[in-house]
């Protein structure tokens, strides 16, 4: 997905929010916004949002000298999600379609996001994801790919959401390679977050090789690119992965809740909708 003009004010909002988590020094925060303004004036909208987001969050880390402002928030999100794990597991197992229930739960976890809006309520999100109609639901195709594929490449998104992904992985009953970001960006999951969520017990964890808050193949690591090329079944969570992969010419399932109007428009749904979209399937 290309970057829209509306993404630009949002990058300033995101930089300010992330900056405030990293520091309370107003001068440093002003400097972040100043340097961002100059930097964005040199960037084309042909870049995808996570390509630009990567530079935005690098700028925040560089100026605040805080390499991982969201570390504590990520640990808390994962702990909160782990506390919910037993009851969510029961909900899924007691459902008449456990796989679909697990998909819904995995979407609920996608609200744990400090990027585009910065506020969420996980209990409301779970309730909503279990009841709400999908705006797009390519569930039959999803099941077909699940049956015929030997392995799933599951591209994760945020820390905490990882626990919800684990519940879906446990229902898919196939070998899974779970992809995290290489180094910290916003509250996106890196390897240590996935391990805290227990994903190492149910999947092989690898890194995308980048600090972009999304998956942009041109800047990903070789191991990930190799796996992406040979994987029959790719499942990508969240907006950032959609933004980076929506122009790929290969089958991918996107699983997300739309949290901004621009991405919702790009997908052809409404902000707040839940989506299981099979692209090129």
Residues that bind a copy of itself in the complex, under the rule CB under 8 A: 5-6, 8-10, 12-13, 16, 26, 29-30, 33-41, 45
Compute CA 119 distance to the chain's CA centroid, rounded to the nearest angstrom: 15
Rounded CA gap, 128 and 110, in Å?
A: 12
Q: Which of 9/86 has CB closer to a copy of itself?
A: 9
- The CB-of-72 to a copy of itself minimum distance in angstroms stands at 22
Q: Which of 15/264 has CB closer to a copy of itself?
A: 15
Place of tokens 């409301």: 124
- The CB-of-174 to a copy of itself minimum distance in angstroms stands at 43
- The CB-of-42 to a copy of itself minimum distance in angstroms stands at 8
Rounded CA gap, 128 and 117, in Å?
A: 18
Rounded CA gap, 174 and 181, in Å?
A: 22
- The CB-of-26 to a copy of itself minimum distance in angstroms stands at 7
Question: Are the beta carbons of 190 and 181 closer than 8 angstroms?
Answer: yes
- The CB-of-228 to a copy of itself minimum distance in angstroms stands at 31
Rounded CA gap, 159 and 74, in Å?
A: 5
Rounded CA gap, 162 and 194, in Å?
A: 6
Show Cβ contacts of residue 11 under 8 Å, excluding neighbours closer than 6 positions: 36, 40, 52, 53, 56
Show Cβ contacts of residue 117 under 8 Å, excluding neighbours closer than 6 positions: 259, 260
User: Which residue pairs from 5-9 have beta carbons closer than 8 angstroms and sit at least 24 positions apart in sequence?
Assistant: 5/45, 6/261, 6/262, 7/49, 7/52, 7/262, 8/40
- The CB-of-15 to a copy of itself minimum distance in angstroms stands at 8
- Closest C-alpha to 166, from 234, 231, 89: 89
β-pair type (152-155, 274-279):
unpaired
- The CB-of-6 to a copy of itself minimum distance in angstroms stands at 7
């Amino acid at each position: 997905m290309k970057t829209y003009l509306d993404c630009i004010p949002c990058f300033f909002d995101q930089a300010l929010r992330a900056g405030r988590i990293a520091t309370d020094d107003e001068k440093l925060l002003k400097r972040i916004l100043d340097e961002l303004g100059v930097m964005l004036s040199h960037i084309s909208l042909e870049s995808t949002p996570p390509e630009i987001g990567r530079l935005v969050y690098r700028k925040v880390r560089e100026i605040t000298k805080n390499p991982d402002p969201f570390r504590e928030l990520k640990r808390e999100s994962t702990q909160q999600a782990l506390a919910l794990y037993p009851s969510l597991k029961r909900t899924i197992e007691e459902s008449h379609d456990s796989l679909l229930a697990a998909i819904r739960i995995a979407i609920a976890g996608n609200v744990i996001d400090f990027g585009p809006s910065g506020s969420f309520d996980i209990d409301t999100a779970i309730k909503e994801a279990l009841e709400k109609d999908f705006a797009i639901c390519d569930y039959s195709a999803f099941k077909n790919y699940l049956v015929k594929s030997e392995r799933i490449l599951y591209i994760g998104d945020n820390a905490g959401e990882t626990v919800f992904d684990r519940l879906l992985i446990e229902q898919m009953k196939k070998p899974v390679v779970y992809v995290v970001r290489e180094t910290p960006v916003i509250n996106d999951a890196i390897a240590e977050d996935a391990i805290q969520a227990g994903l190492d017990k149910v999947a092989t964890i690898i890194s995308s090789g980048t600090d972009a808050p999304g998956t942009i193949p041109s800047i990903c690591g070789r191991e990930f690119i190799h796996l992406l090329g040979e994987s029959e079944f790719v499942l990508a969570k969240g907006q950032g992965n959609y933004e980076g992969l929506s122009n790929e010419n290969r089958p991918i399932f996107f699983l997300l809740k739309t949290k901004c109007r621009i991405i919702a428009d790009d997908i052809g749904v409404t902000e707040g909708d839940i989506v299981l979209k099979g692209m090129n399937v």
